[in-house]
Structure formats: structure tokens, C-alpha cells
């Protein structure tokens, strides 16, 4: 069995490639839009990507499911309760996805969002107990996903669903089950947790503050208070993932001559100055918005600009484009 984790510094998003080396097959779980890393690993390990699974409709990033499916021909899987409108196969409780000698079994774990699922990972050549569980944003190391990510008006009801998902579904798994969450530290989908990117059910039950809240009312109060500010683009991203993001393909940056940049700016384009803060403070173009170059710049841009806005980037060098996107 192959189980590889991918991490995005800053947002803290985690995604996975699960495969069977004997049969040369793999699926990708909760992919982000930068799909080259999955394709490169699959090529390196001589694996065919046959499926792409999202554990829920993400509210903090755009899924790479449509992009991966376009490149590989893989089938897209989404929770049945997501009511997604893109072409996909719905997943319900108990459904099993076969990847050679590896099985993924669907566990409904609502609460972070109404449709959230977890995926039990089995290696049929190793035994009759699950090896791991991919918990999406339901259970993180030392934390849970915020219950207002999708429907703030249903906060208490989702918090109660989250309680039952944690204590009546995930806590019932064998203590040895490895927990692979959809987020580590950072991001906007929880309020706590640390930088550790995996755990076990048993360790979480013994040490996580979440599992000390056996009383449902106390749990609900804890997960519904002192939440971080809910980003304004959560609803837009969730709806985009419900429809399926447009396929971007390979994007080649084109340097703009000054006169062309002025043409766009005169017609309302936003100018984003990506240089270091000190350089921006010393001197910058009138009206420029400062978003310093880094791994979270595209996410931060989503907090500031509407999706239909044209953006002109001011970079120190053409090589900086790769960091920006």
C-alpha cells in the first residue's frame, strides 16, 4: 500500500495519494488545484490515477478534482449529501472504493459541513482492521473542523452532528487507527490544533482536549464559541466546488510592457505589489495593494478581490511568478 501526504504551507491544507503498487492504481483525496505534484508522484511510482475523492465541499480552497480528472480521465467522487452538480459519482454510507488491494470505506461524519465524510483505509493483504482513516476536516490533531464553515445559521445543529461524528463514529474505531486529517495548523477551518500532521485514534482519545468534552452541551459550547472570523469567500468557494471549478490547464505567465499594464489599470484592474514590505513602504505605485509574495498569496488575494476582477502583478523578477501561483 502507498499512502502519501501533501502539505500546503500557510493554509495548512493536507491532501493524499492512496495507491496499490501491486496493481499500479491510485486515488487522490482532497486535492488542491496545483495537481502537478500528484501527477509527478504517480508517474514516479508507475501508478494510474483512477479516482479523485473530496471528503466535503471545501470552503477554504478550490478543489483540484476537475483538473485531475481532465488530465487523467479519473472518476470524481463526492459525498451524496453534497448535491454537487458537476459530473461525479455520489458516495453514501458504507460505499467501498477499490484500489487494487486497498479499500476505502465511506463513513458519514457530518458537522464541519452537512455532507462531510471520512474514509477508512484498508490493506486487504495485511489484516481485517483498518490501517488508517482520512478524516477530512471533521477531526484534526487536537481539534475539529469549525461547524460554521458551510451554514453559519445552522451552527448549533452542525455542532451536535460533529459531536456524534467524533464520539459515536470516529472514537469507535480501533485505537491503532492512524488519523490523517485534511488540515494541520493554519487555515480558516478550525480554531486550534498544532503543526502535527497525523495521529492515532487512541492518542487523540487520551490527549486531545476535544475528547475530554464527553458532555454534548459542553462540546457544543466549546466548538461554537471564540471561532476565528469566517472569511467572506467561504460561500463562494463552496458553491464553486459544488459546480466544479473551470479547468485551468497550463498557464504561461506573460510579462506586460508598461504601456499594456497602464491599459489594464486604466480600465479598473487591481495592481498587486508583491515585493517585500520594506520596499513597498519605501515607494510603491499609487493605488497598489500590498500582498507580499509567499505560499498563501493566492488565498489572501481571494479575501481582498472579487473573482471577476482583473489583477496585474508587480514582481521583483519573472521567477517570482512560480511562487505566486
Question: pLDDT tens for residues 74-97?
Answer: 999 999 999 999 999 999 999 999
Q: ∠ at Cα 7 (6, 10), nearest 5°?
A: 165
Instruction: Tell the residue number behind the cell numbers 487523467, with chain if given.
Output: 72
Q: Which of 72, 87, 67, 75 is nearest to 249 (CA)?
A: 67
Give the pLDDT confidence score for residue 85 in this predicted structure: 97
What is the distance between the alpha carbons of residues 309 and 286, in angstroms, rounded to a whole number? 18
Residue 236 burial (CB count, 10 A): 14
What top-level class would CATH report for the domain 2-243?
alpha beta
Q: Which residues pair with 97 in a beta bridge?
A: 104
Give the pLDDT confidence score for residue 190 in this predicted structure: 55
Q: How far is the CA of 26 from the CAs of 45, 64, 79, 126, 297, in angstroms?
A: 10, 16, 19, 18, 30
| C-alpha cell recorded at residue 325 | 501561483
Q: Of 3.40.50.300, 3.40.250.10, 3.30.230.10, 3.40.50.920, which CATH number belongs to 258-324?
A: 3.40.250.10
Taking 80 as the threshold, does the pLDDT of residue 303 lie above it? no
- Mean pLDDT value across residues 285-304: 84
Give the pLDDT confidence score for residue 196 in this predicted structure: 87
Is residue 285 within 8 Å of 314, Cβ to Cβ?
yes
Q: How far is the CA of 122 from the CAs of 14, 85, 88, 127, 135, in angstroms?
A: 20, 30, 23, 8, 14
Q: Which of 219, 159, 229, 162 is nearest to 189 (CA)?
A: 229
Residue with the bigger pLDDT between 303 and 280: it is 280
Question: pLDDT tens for residues 151-168?
Answer: 777 999 999 999 999 999
Average pLDDT taken over every residue of the chain: 91
Per-range mean pLDDT, top range of 34-48, 139-153, 288-302? 34-48
Question: pLDDT tens for residues 86-144?
Answer: 999 999 999 999 999 999 999 999 999 999 999 999 999 998 899 999 999 999 999 99
Going from N- to C-terminal start, the domains of the chain cover 2-243, 258-324
Q: How far is the CA of 271 from the CAs of 261, 278, 287, 289, 300, in angstroms?
A: 9, 18, 7, 6, 14
Taking 90 as the threshold, does the pLDDT of residue 241 lie above it? yes
Give the pLDDT confidence score for residue 35 in this predicted structure: 95
> Given this chain, do its domains 2-243 and 258-324 carry the same CATH topology?
no
The helix or strand, by DSSP H or E, that contains position 203, with its residue range, turns out to be helix 201-207
- Mean pLDDT value across residues 250-272: 86
Long-range contacts of 16-21 (CB under 8 A, 24+ apart): 16/134, 16/180, 17/41, 17/42, 17/47, 17/49, 18/99, 18/102, 18/104, 18/121, 18/134, 19/45, 19/47, 19/99, 19/100, 19/102, 20/99, 20/100, 20/101, 20/102, 21/45, 21/47
Taking 70 as the threshold, does the pLDDT of residue 179 lie above it? yes
Give the pLDDT confidence score for residue 65 in this predicted structure: 98
Query: Angle, to 10 degrees, between the axis of helix 216-224 and the axis of helix 155-168?
Result: 120
Q: Which of 281, 105, 97, 16 is nearest to 290 (CA)?
A: 281
Q: What is the pTM of this model?
A: 0.88
Give the pLDDT confidence score for residue 189 in this predicted structure: 55
- Report percent pLDDT > 90 for the chain: 72
Taking 60 as the threshold, does the pLDDT of residue 148 lie above it? yes
What is the distance between the alpha carbons of residues 247 and 62, in angstroms, rounded to a whole number? 11
| C-alpha cell recorded at residue 12 | 495548512
Rg over CA atoms, the chain: 21
Lowest average pLDDT, out of 6-20, 121-135, 212-226, 247-261, goes to 247-261
At 128 the three-state DSSP class reads coil
Taking 60 as the threshold, does the pLDDT of residue 191 lie above it? no
Amino acid at each position: 500500500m502507498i499512502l502519501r501526504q501533501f502539505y500546503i504551507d500557510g493554509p495548512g491544507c493536507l491532501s493524499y495519494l492512496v495507491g496499490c503498487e501491486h496493481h499500479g492504481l491510485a486515488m487522490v483525496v482532497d486535492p488542491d488545484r496545483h495537481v502537478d505534484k500528484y501527477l509527478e508522484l504517480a508517474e514516479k511510482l508507475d501508478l494510474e490515477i483512477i479516482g479523485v475523492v473530496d471528503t466535503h465541499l471545501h470552503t477554504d480552497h478550490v478543489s483540484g478534482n476537475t483538473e485531475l480528472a481532465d488530465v487523467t480521465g479519473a472518476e470524481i467522487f463526492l459525498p451524496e449529501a453534497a448535491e454537487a452538480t458537476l459530473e461525479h459519482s455520489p458516495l453514501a454510507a458504507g460505499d467501498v472504493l477499490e484500489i487494487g488491494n486497498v479499500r476505502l470505506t465511506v463513513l458519514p461524519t457530518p458537522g464541519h459541513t452537512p455532507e462531510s465524510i471520512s474514509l477508512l483505509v484498508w490493506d486487504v493483504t495485511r489484516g481485517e482492521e483498518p490501517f488508517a482513516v482520512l478524516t477530512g476536516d471533521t477531526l484534526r490533531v487536537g481539534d475539529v473542523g469549525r461547524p460554521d464553515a458551510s451554514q453559519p445559521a445552522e451552527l448549533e445543529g452542525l455542532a451536535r452532528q460533529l459531536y456524534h461524528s467524533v464520539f459515536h463514529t470516529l472514537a469507535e474505531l480501533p485505537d491503532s487507527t492512524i488519523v490523517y486529517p485534511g488540515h494541520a495548523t493554519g487555515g480558516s477551518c478550525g480554531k486550534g490544533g498544532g503543526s502535527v500532521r497525523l495521529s492515532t485514534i487512541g492518542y487523540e482519545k487520551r490527549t486531545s482536549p476535544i475528547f475530554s468534552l464527553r458532555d454534548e452541551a459542553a462540546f457544543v459550547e466549546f466548538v461554537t464559541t471564540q471561532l476565528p472570523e469566517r472569511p467572506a469567500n467561504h460561500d463562494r468557494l463552496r458553491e464553486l466546488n459544488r459546480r466544479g471549478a473551470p479547468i485551468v490547464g497550463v498557464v504561461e505567465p506573460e510579462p506586460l510592457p508598461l504601456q499594456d499594464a497602464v491599459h489594464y489599470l486604466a480600465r479598473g484592474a487591481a495592481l498587486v505589489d508583491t515585493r517585500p514590505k520594506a520596499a513597498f513602504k519605501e515607494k510603491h505605485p499609487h493605488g497598489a495593494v500590498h500582498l507580499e509574495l509567499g505560499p498563501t498569496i493566492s488565498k489572501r488575494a481571494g479575501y481582498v478581490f472579487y473573482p471577476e476582477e482583473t489583477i496585474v502583478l508587480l514582481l521583483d523578477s519573472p521567477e517570482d511568478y512560480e511562487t505566486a501561483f
